Amino acid sequence: CSETLWEIAKAEVEKKKSHGSEGNGAEIGEKSVFFIGSKNGGKTTIILRCLDRDEPAKPTLALEYTYGRRTKGHNTPKDIAHFWELGGGTSLLDLISIPITCDSLRTFSVVLVLDLSKPNDLWPTMENLLQATKSHVDKVIMKLGKTNSKAASEMRQRMWSAMQKDHPDRELIDPFPIPLVIIGSKYDIFQDFDPEKRKVICKTLRFVAHYYGASLMFTSKSEALLLKMRGVVNQLAFGIDKSKSICVDQNKPLFITAGLDSLCQIGSPPVPDSDIGKIQAHSPMELWKKVYEKLFPPKSTSTLKAIQDPARDPQYAESEVDEMRVQKDQELEQYKRSSSKTWKQIDLDS
């Protein structure tokens, strides 16, 4: 062989670079999974389980990061999965923009964890988090399109990858811009609900998941369900083969891989036909929302978004820091008052 070791190594690096620029994330070896959802819904527990970490879950204060590694095979580099978790339910939506960037977007996916034991909080939690995430992702895709139009175009096409080309609902849904999995947690509590309530929740979540081109599954402390859930998350994190199984029986934990459901199978919103005509809605999503909230009225928005200031939480108390914080607060108030007087004086002089 006339090539030197240096030339062979250089060619290998160039080959990896060209593969990495294709934007499908398969050769990059790094993926990111963003966990959002209900406060105290079990997001941290799910992450720890997927990473085989046997430690108690602690409350997520704001935005937390951890990572996991997995070996593809003998003498191959380990794949890396970046796990982000947003705490506080719907109260910290501004932090969504931190992990989702132009650099990470092409290998990014979202897991929305919804607490099935609190059905009245379910719709507003889901709606606020998905709308905020989708809005930011759309902005990032537009920004990416200005520098790499091919990558942005591939992302838009990939949104439809889970949906067969001849699927009857292709014109009726609006896939999420990046891979999305919806997990209903605390199924062990949910399974004791009244059958009619379970029916409404199951059908509603099936509609939302199908509309967004997302996978849907219920989980609990059951070992069998945890293994299924772990498989779904590992598919997002490490590209392991996607499951093709499906369970749509409302008397069992739902498990529906993206693209395998249909509006025909889901049926119409669970309300008498005579009442559907009386509900004013501008879209199918709004219709399902009104039907759902009729049975499960949401708590006030202020209650949902309310969160205690961590700086005033007794469990994080530190006397020296707290004293300095009080001093800085006083200085800030004094600055505000003096600034107000200055601007008033300027207005009078002018």
Q: Where are the domains of the chain?
A: 28-295, 313-342
Residues 329-338: what's their mean pLDDT? 64
Q: How confident is the model at residue 78 (pLDDT cuts 50, 70, 90)?
A: confident
> Quick one: how far is CA 345 from the chain centroid?
50
3-state helix, strand, coil in the chain (%, to 5): 50, 15, 40
CA distances from 123 to 2, 13, 129, 208, 245 (A): 66, 48, 10, 10, 26
pLDDT at position 148: 87
CA distances from 29 to 137, 245, 265, 347 (A): 22, 26, 37, 60
Dist CA 230 CA 243 (whole Å): 12
3-class secondary structure, 115: strand
pLDDT at position 327: 75
Q: How confident is the model at residue 209 (pLDDT cuts 50, 70, 90)?
A: very high
Enter the CATH code of domain 28-295. Answer: 3.40.50.300
pTM: 0.77
Q: Around Cβ 111, how many Cβ atoms within 10 Å? A: 28
CA-closest candidate to residue 87, choices 307, 257, 264: 307
CA-closest candidate to residue 251, choices 202, 214, 295: 202
Q: Are 259 and 213 in contact (CB under 8 A)?
A: yes
Q: How confident is the model at residue 238 (pLDDT cuts 50, 70, 90)?
A: confident
Read off the pLDDT of residues 176-208 as tens digits, 9 standing for 90 and up: 999 999 999 999 999 999 999 999 999 999 999
Let me know the angle formed at the C-alpha of 190 by 186 and 194, rounded to the nearest 5 degrees: 175
Dist CA 120 CA 218 (whole Å): 17
Structure token digits, residue 281: 């809605």
Q: For the residues of 5-62, what is the DSSP string, one character each?
A: HHHHHHHHHHHHHHHHTTSSSTTT-EEEEEEEESTTSSHHHHHHHHTT--S------S
Q: How confident is the model at residue 270 (pLDDT cuts 50, 70, 90)?
A: confident
pLDDT at position 346: 52
Residues 65-89: what's their mean pLDDT? 81
Read off the pLDDT of residues 45-74 as tens digits, 9 standing for 90 and up: 888 888 888 777 787 778 999 888 887 666
Read off the pLDDT of residues 244-259 as tens digits, 9 standing for 90 and up: 778 999 999 999 999 8
Lowest mean pLDDT among 16-20, 32-36, 192-196, 206-210: 16-20
Number of alpha helices (DSSP H) and beta strands (DSSP E) in the chain = 12, 8
